[in-house]
Chains A and B, each alone.
Chain A
Amino acid sequence: MANEKIRFEGVTKRFGALTVLDKLDLSINDGEVVTIIGPSGSGKTTVLRCLMTLESIEDGLIRIDGEPLNKMESEGRLVPASNAHLRRMRLKLGMVFQSFNLFPHLTVLQNCVEPPIFALGVTRDEARSRAQELLDMVGMGDKQAHYPAQLSGGQQQRVAIARTLAMQPEILVFDEPTSALDPETIEEVTSVIRSLAVKHSYTMLMVTHQIAFAHDISDRICFFDKGRIVEQGPPAAVIDAPTEARTQQFLRKVAQAR
């Protein structure tokens, strides 16, 4: 078995009386590209937010490279993670949001230069040369001096991807990276993500409603419903020949909507 990168063990997340994740078990290997699909409100975003420690969890354990994330070991026992522990563990994680969340008061270049300086402690020169490389890679090298508000959605999302990569994460998390985009600009973002999945060794966990895109780049698809994985496997199985009635129904609905 390949190296396990991420592991959810019986993860339960509640908002008040609402159980959004119900004893979720999910294991993702190093370099694997996993896409979560499923109906609205099924808990897809919540999975990503728990992994990014944007949400605390009520029960269960998340591990990265075998090491507990939401807990830490102290004298042989698991205790709630300290902020220092969370910060150290988060170094391996990078997230791209549906709504980009670029810093609007900073230029494109500053958006990619400042995080490594302030959160990793690299020198400004080093951060700048790496940011320029990454911006070239996502095709935004000629917009370095622009502010986010001066860019299209697709351009902003490509900058957001470069900003995430500038932090040198090992795991990339995407929450519906193309849902806020105009149809004409979706392709420029999916092609960047595709190249990350194919050419680089990142472990990727993505949520998307773009089934064809998911089929194209994923090693594994997880169909989610009501906080549980209903069906998972390679795209050729889950998307092309789903066995569960709920998966079939969802895919039919998505196909009709297009």
Chain B
Amino acid sequence: MDWRWDFTFETVLPRILPGLWVTVEVTFLSFALSLVLGLFLMIARRSTIRPLSVAAGEFIEFMRGMPLVVVIFFLFFLLPEIGIFLAPFWTGVLAMGIYNAAPVAEILRGGLQAVPKGQWEAAHVLNYSTYRTWRQVILPQAVKPVVPGLGNLLILAFKETPLLSFVAVPEMLDAARRIASETYRFTEPLTVVGILFLILSLFSAVLIRLVERHLLTETRHGK
């Protein structure tokens, strides 16, 4: 096989590394958005206001059956139609943020169901407001069981970012394809992208492990 180290280090890496940074940024920003949207979605779904809970449920179902790339194209072409002009980067953050809000909502719902009914009742008789009940009693207990699920989702989000190359977000795959089309060399750029993704996955797995361990020592409860 014809592998050129000088090409790899002098051309490929310098051009792909900025893409690595874009990948990391898109992933974490969109994931943060997913967490916020997912939390609201889950609260809406559990709401006693029927239309709200139905709408949230339908949205989750809808997103579950939708390929991410469709959502990306949809926003990319639709937002300008309604007068919203965003850089491809932010369209990507928005698309992935909305897309992953649905699974986040489902994971959070699972975490909530792990909190016993007695905890709600204790908060009620101790006169906690709705906000305080969530903030002080329910969410702290719902967090621990959802960390592994959210961690998985974060790794999946990393792996979804190459789809954004379709709308010219300058992430790693986009950079690799540009190099390839200019130089007609595919092996080095694609291999480097693969290796960097591998490193990212390993890195985020370690990160998730650390968060889990931190939560475990922070609250030594649970039997």
- CB <8 Å contact, A148 and B221: yes
Does A105 lie within 8 Å of B125, measured CB to CB?
no
Q: Residues of B within 8 Å of A, CB-based: how many?
A: 21
A interface residue count range (under 10 / 10 to 19 / 20 to 34 / 35 or more): 20 to 34
Q: Chain A: residues with CB nearer than 8 A to chain B?
A: 52-54, 87, 90-91, 93-95, 97, 99, 101-105, 114-115, 118-120, 147-150, 163-164, 167
Are A105 and B140 in contact, CB atoms less than 8 angstroms apart?
Answer: yes
| B140 partner residues in chain A, CB cutoff 8 A | 105
Total A-B residue pairs with C-beta atoms closer than 8 Å? 64
Of B115-123, B156-164, B166-174, the stretch lying at the interface with chain A is B115-123
Q: How far is the CA of A84 from the CA of B52 in the complex (A)?
A: 24
Give chain B residues whose Cβ lies under 8 Å from the Cβ of A102.
Answer: 122
Which residue from chain B places its CB closest to the CB of A52 in the assembled complex? Answer: B125
Most buried by B among A91, A105, A149: A105
A53 closest partner in B (C-beta): B124
CB distance from A176 to the nearest CB of B (A): 13
- Chain A residues lying within 8 Å of B127, measured Cβ to Cβ, are 87, 90-91, 115, 119-120, 167
Give chain B nearest CB distance to A125 CB in angstroms. 19
A87 to chain B minimum Cβ distance, whole angstroms, is: 6
Chain B residues within 8 Å of A53, by CB:
124
Contacts of A164 in B (CB 8 A): 126
User: Interface code B134-153, partner A: CB below 8 Å = 1, 0 otherwise?
Assistant: 00110011000000000000
Does B65 make an interface contact (CB < 8 A)?
A: no
| B214 CB-CB contact with A under 8 Å | no
Contact, CB under 8 Å: A93 / B132: no
Which of B's residues lie within 8 Å of A, judged by CB?
116, 118-119, 121-122, 124-129, 132, 136-137, 140-141, 219-223
Q: CA of A164 to CA of B124 in the docked complex: distance in angstroms?
A: 12
Given A114-B136, A118-B132, are A97 and B118 neighbors across the interface (CB < 8 Å)? yes
Q: A102-B122, A167-B127 known; 7 other A-B pairs, CB under 8 Å?
A: A52-B125, A87-B127, A91-B127, A97-B121, A103-B137, A119-B129, A147-B219
> Closest chain B residue to A110 by CB distance?
B136
A103 touches B122 (CB 8 A): yes
- Nearest A residue to B117 by beta-carbon distance? A101
List 9 tightest A-B contacts by C-beta distance, closest first. A101-B122, A101-B118, A104-B221, A119-B127, A95-B125, A115-B126, A105-B219, A118-B132, A105-B140
CB distance from A131 to the nearest CB of B (A): 13
Contact between chains at B136 and A101 (CB < 8 Å) = no
Interchain nearest-CB distance for B93 vs A (Å): 32
